Amino acid sequence: MRTQVAIIGAGPAGLLLGQLLHKAGIDNVILEQRSREYVLGRIRAGVLEQGTVDMLDEAGVSARLHQEGLIHDGAELCFGGARHRINFKELIGKTVTVYGQTEVTRDLMDARDASGAKIVYEAESVSLHDFDGKSPKVRYRKNGEWQELDCEFVAGCDGFHGVSRQSVPQNALRTFERVYPFGWLGILSDTPPVSHELIYANHERGFALCSMRSASRSRYYLQCPLTEKAEDWSDARFWEELKRRLDGEAVANLVTGPSIEKSIAPLRSFVAEPLRFGRLFLAGDAAHIVPPTGAKGLNLAASDVHYLSRALIEFYTEKTNAGIDAYSEKCLRRIWKAERFSWWMTSLMHRFPNTDDFGHKIQEAELDYLVSSRAAQIVMAENYVGLPFGD
């Protein structure tokens, strides 16, 4: 089998890249190790930057997003028993859209099926070969049969634990990492959200986040020690702890109910440099991870695809290497700004086990400064809604 671009992974990065390349007439094959149902079963991101919405418009997969997505003009910070609204729209004239990653993935999968472009689910034992030359190969097993895919480029969109980054010689790669000493215990419930916008809470017992997927489906998170197990948290225990971390009005408005999903996600900041190795390009979580506090993970994946899709289209249509040669440097400039913001928001909103009294006073002062300074709020707002791609 032969294609122009082999894409490893059918998460948001792989599916969005596949759709944009297909629309540009560039043949591509997506290889996904899991089933479609398994991929759709993962509950992840919820907030889309305007740049991501624009990409989904460009890909022709945003009809349902515009029907069902919730436009949010701002978000609230809760600390000291009070809530403080950061009004993105008033501060910098931009908004975010709440629309679950599961739905983005579903829309992209449906578009892939409608286009007839090839996607292989449950592709086992994927391996990458000869990407340092001009004729890379990808091997995989499907239904017990070994397959070989000849291609011109490989896009490693296979997430943090994928095979692509692991295939790069370790001396060709430099990694940067910070692992946080806590995780996020998240639940999904078919209950109306506690507020019409997100609430990020900094409490002495730990961080909490009130988010949503629709007007009838809520998503809540609690900072928890890494030693915790989701199965040790009954719904009742989760709701009681959430109430202890929120302000009085939120507690009064909170509608509890049975969880339909409950899981704990670890938090880390991670970047691999560079993102290009010959004919292999890394994109999305395969290249970087952010703590979800700044709602950047999915949006950074879309950002990488913005640059990579343009670079590959330019290669094939204008016969120039300029875009692919500039890909890594362009991506990393935006990646590191998102890493900084995600680290800053995580440091601001969480309780770190080894922070001393001075550290707590600094955190309080940072929060007090943020909610009392328009300039500080503008800085937060422009990062939260997403910095421009800066082509």
292 assigned to active site = yes
| Interface positions, 240-299, toward ligand PHB (CB under 6 A) | 292-293, 295
For the question of residue 200 being annotated catalytic, the response is yes
Structure tokens at 249: 């009005």
Looking at residues 322 to 351 of the shown chain, list those that interact with ligand PHB (rule: CB under 6 A).
Answer: none
Which of 22, 72, 203, 306 is labelled catalytic? 72
- Biggest CA pair distance of the chain: 63
CB 21 within 8 A of CB 312: yes
Residue 21 contacts which entry, ligand PHB, ligand FAS, none (Cβ below 5-8 A, type-dependent)? none
Binding partner of 265, given ligand PHB, ligand FAS, none, CB within 5-8 angstroms per partner class = ligand FAS
Q: Say whether residue 7 binds ligand PHB (CB under 6 A).
A: no
Interaction of residue 47 with ligand PHB, rule CB under 6 A: yes
| Closer Cβ to ligand PHB, 269 or 293, answer by number | 293
C-alpha span between 166 and 126 (Å, rounded): 12
46 binds ligand PHB per the rule CB under 6 A: yes
Is residue 221 among the annotated active site residues? no
To ligand PHB, the closest distance from the beta carbon of 207 in angstroms equals 10
The question of whether 94 is a catalytic residue gets the answer: no
The size of the interface with ligand PHB (CB under 6 A), counted in residues, is 10
CB-CB contact of 126 with 31 (8 Å): yes
Nearer to ligand PHB among residue 45 and residue 123 (C-beta): 45
Contact 311, 367 (CB under 8 A): no
Give me the least distance between CB of 252 and ligand FAS, in Å please.
26
The question of whether 72 is a catalytic residue gets the answer yes
Residues that bind ligand PHB (CB under 6 A): 45-47, 198, 209, 211, 219, 292-293, 295
**Residues with active-site annotation:** 72, 200, 292, 296, 384
